[in-house]
Amino acid sequence: MKFRRPANEAGSSLAVWVLLVALVAAVAAVIIVNSVKEEKISALGREIRNLKAKTFLSGDDPKQTPDLDAIRKERQELARLRTEVKDLQAKLQESGQYLEKLQAENQQIRAINQQLGAQNQQLAAAPPPLPAPVAQILTVPGLPAIALLPDEDANAVSAAYIADQKNLKELGEALSKFVEANQDVLPRSLDQLKPLLPEEVALSLNFSRYEMAATGPLAALRNLAKTALIREKRKDRHGLRGYVLGDGTAQIVKESE
């Protein structure tokens, strides 16, 4: 007769193995759960530390760190740098405005240079100016040298001045006759000398050119010999003017401007 294990004993062994497997699974589950919890706790710890660091950097809790002075210095340096940046921006803006002004002035100078260049080209293309004519010098006895104008004829000018000298001499002689006849008193006007002039001189002489430079008694005049008694009213185009002096001489002199 063969030996046989009882059926109920085999069932008990199987139940034991199943129980062991379940127990191991439960222990493993507990270990895994604990591991997950520890990981979560570590993550929460890291997050809390980050929040504390951010809170410190924002200045909410400056007593938590010994580097507060360094951070304050960094903030002050940052403020200083910001101020310098603003100043540099303002200076840069002013420099830009000054540069625009210089550019406008440069454009004006260029325009002026272009105008001058065009004028220089016109001058270079223009014919050279003709030399000024040399004035002819006229010499009449008893008169200063005369520079003739381009429209004057030397012979005509010379004859006119010679006639003027003659007229002044005739007026001087007529004046001497009048003074002798009137007890050394000068005439009030040239019309009083007409009867004392030669007829041809009285008819040809233009009395409107002359005037009495002095009137009244001769005794009232100082330095009679150098005093003008009769004179032309104005100098001519050459600056010459005729006089009859108290010594009886007739002179045509050049007057300054």
Summarised one tens digit per residue, pLDDT across range 3-51 is 344 444 445 555 545 555 555 555 555 455 455 555 655 655 565 566 5
Q: Which tokens hold the place of 110?
A: 């260029």
Dist. CA 221–CA 247, nearest whole Å: 12
Dist. CA 251–CA 100, nearest whole Å: 73
Indicate the average pLDDT of the chain.
Answer: 78
Q: What's the predicted TM-score (pTM) here?
A: 0.48
Helix (H) or strand (E) holding 86: helix 68-125
Tell me the mean pLDDT in the region 145-164.
89
pLDDT in tens, 97-151: 877 887 888 888 888 888 888 888 887 777 777 665 666 887 888 888 888 888 8
Domain parsing of the chain, residue ranges: 137-254
Asked if 148 contacts 154 with a C-beta cutoff of 8 angstroms, the reply is yes
Dist. CA 190–CA 208, nearest whole Å: 9
Q: Give the model's pLDDT for residue 115.
A: 85
Report which of residues 201 and 21 the model is more confident about: 201
Dist. CA 212–CA 171, nearest whole Å: 11
- Write the CA distances from 162 to 59, 138, 173, 238, integer angstroms: 118, 12, 17, 15
Q: For residue 238, how many other CB atoms are within 10 A of its CB?
A: 19
Report percent pLDDT > 90 for the chain. Answer: 31
Above 60 in pLDDT, residue 226? yes
Asked if 252 contacts 231 with a C-beta cutoff of 8 angstroms, the reply is no
